[in-house]
Amino acid sequence: MNSDRVTRRAILLGSLALTASGCTSAQRLSEPIFSAFGGGPSSRYRRRDVVYDGGEPPGTIVVDTTERYLYLVEGGGRAIRYGVAVGEDGRTLKGPASIGRKAEWPSWTPTESMMERKPHLRQYAGGVSGGKHNPLGAAALYLYRGGQDTMFRLHGTNEPWTIGQAVSSGCVRLTNEDIVDLYNRTPVGAKVLVI
């Protein structure tokens, strides 16, 4: 019981220290990004340049939900591979999509179905502004089909230790460093294939 108080107190004091130091959601993507809670993904999920033998054209994003990797196809038999977290219970979107919109430090509001499955999310029904405390992390790429927002995203996370797991409500999570890298390489209109 005493250790719980120390942990809560440390988190509260750490949050106050961040606020007092001037850290705000106005942080630009060119600045270094660190998780407020530490811990990162296993080394197998770190970004790498890899051999890629798929038939997709350069610039296509391929998400392999089983292996928990996202590939940005570069052509010439190469791709940049990023570790990802995917939707729990098969909730991740499947099939083709495209990047319909991009946002830095996006705001987040849980959907009604998310709040039904996880009632504790109702406390965020009014939305969460962008910033280090936001579950969408440093950036988001919005997945569209037929010109319509699917409500699925490729986005950063304030929980980098979840990379490699099936834990989200359907979106594909990358570390903040990786979503910034992907964001800077990916234009609106880029094709996405989720398998």
For the question of residue 171 being annotated catalytic, the response is: yes
Dmax over CA atoms of the chain, in Å, equals 58
**Set 23, 120, 133, 155: catalytic member:** 155
Chain CA centroid to CA 90, Å: 17
Taking only Cα atoms into account, the Rg of the chain, rounded to an integer number of angstroms, comes to 17
* Sign of the Cα pseudo-torsion (17, 23, 29, 31, in order): negative
For the question of residue 155 being annotated catalytic, the response is: yes
**Set 23, 120, 133, 171: catalytic member:** 171
| Amino acid in the structure at residue 117 | R
Integer Cα distance of 97 and 169 in angstroms:
18
Q: Please, are residues 95 and 173 in contact by the beta-carbon 8 Å criterion? A: no
Catalytic residue annotation: 155, 171
